[in-house]
Amino acid sequence: MNENVSVKEWLGSMLLLCIPIVNLVLVFVWAFGNGTKISKSNFFKAYLLLMLISIVISIVLGIVFGASIFALMQQTQY
């Protein structure tokens, strides 16, 4: 499990990530499954962490911009 991940293996992984729904399942399998090389597992754990951070930032920005648009609409109604 301490072996390097080959370029061919990375290309196969990236191609599989292009398939909808399959990509979500595979990311979790590669991040937390047994039998995955350590470097590949660490990469997909970091990938999941970045996805989580992106989702949180998107939600916060959506709330902020939504509230500001709502406030502007309220000001211009009267």
The label of the residue with tokens 């293996």 reads 9
Question: Is the pLDDT at 75 greater than 90, yes or no?
Answer: no
The whole-number pLDDT of residue 14 equals 95
CA distance 30 to 37: 9
The whole-number pLDDT of residue 60 equals 98
The whole-number pLDDT of residue 1 equals 74
- SS3 of the chain: the string is CCCCCCHHHHHHHHHHCCCCCHHHHHHHHHHHCCCCCHHHHHHHHHHHHHHHHHHHHHHHHHHHHHHHHHHHHHHHCC
pTM of the model: 0.82
Task: Copy the structure tokens of residue 30.
Answer: 């590669």
Mean pLDDT of all residues belonging to the chain: 94
Of residues 1 and 44, the one with the higher pLDDT is: 44
